[in-house]
Structure 1
Amino acid sequence: MKKKLVVLTGAGISAESGIKTFRDADGLWEGHNVMDVATPEGWHKNPELVLDFYNQRRRQLHDVQPNLGHQILTELENDFDVSIITQNVDNLHEKAGSSNVLHLHGELLKVRSIANRNYILDWETDLNLGDFDDKGNQLRPHIVWFGEEVPALEKAVTIVEKADILIIIGTSLQVYPAAGLMNFAKQTIPVYYIDPKPAPIYDLPNDLKIIAATGSEGVKIVQKDLEKLK
């Protein structure tokens, strides 16, 4: 039976493909204040701005490609039972071929009803005011905004609890509850943390290896290490 390899990914792994993260720019995301485009308050204040913002992000997905980090994670499925839990809303893990991806913060290529969060549609083009669900309610981006609960969190905790190996890639470990997921791992398993500027990790009893590198560089290093852990 293959060992369970759980990978937690953040914006850093997508940055190498050209997708920007607001945390690199003083709270600005592609020139917008995060509170204006990634909160329920921003949506109520100016839904057209929010829709335009995510329409631009959605269009960008058609022009970017997975990088080596994404591709190596796909290759690891040959030797491990791989589950990816990502904070990213892009589809680069799926584009690379990963078969088991859980999106904590939603997906750009999906929309949902403002009246029913379980009414979710695949959506690859622009979303506009006047795009409704089957009961006439406006559709919104299927994104978990700041201040909203994370519906996938419980499932993510269950996955981490079953891990035999945990890899954390490209996250500042500042966005909760996602940042706390590593604390649900069994204390006996190895943990790898890959980031060009790794955040300090305190009180994690596991065998922890910190790799100060980009996602693709770090995953190459870990891939060699994992040869011994199959």
Structure 2
Amino acid sequence: MSPILNAVPANAARIGIGGPVGSGKTALIEALLPVLERRGISIAVVTNDLVTAEDAERLRRSGVIDPARVLAVEAGACPHTVIREDPTLNMLAADELDARFPGLELVIIESGGDNLASTFSLDLVDWWIFVIDVAGGGDIPRKRGPGVLQCDLLVINKVDLAPHVGVDLDLMLEEARAVRGGRPLIATACRSGLQVEAVADAIVEAVLIRR
């Protein structure tokens, strides 16, 4: 067990990662896993999809995590139902990982792709990230979706694409900071690793050290 968590409760901390389809949730997890593991943190992942295990299989094939540490939940309905309205399936999956891997410190629960209203139940997670991307439109912050406003950390991904999709990145970041009232946000390009260390720092500080 890493030194950060010597005094934590038996169950692992649980964080959520949500956001619209294609925003880069799985790419963020793929980038985060080796960074967190280099810090000595024991991690597992629960993915959510409508009726498939596509994201789980992608992570299992990625080589960045032991495939046994990835479980899939099939929502069978809009993905937000199993992270907000009735998170029982995700709670059971996280409990299974706790039982399977003694000393587990962190479970990342990835929502299936959903809309800007998607939020996580705090019965399920201790802290959660919402991912949007510049290719989805520079006006996303102005739409003031609950995911953007209420998450603990907003990640604005694919910032390297801004010049190619006609987005004024500085304006998008300014508007995101304004609607979030000073709550944290990080601009990333997960494929290249830009600012992934900063996201890992935020997780460690907010969830692991303070827990």
Normalising to structure 2: TM-score of the pair?
Answer: 0.41
Structure number, greater radius of gyration: 1
- Higher RCO (C-alpha under 8 Å, 6+ residues apart): 2
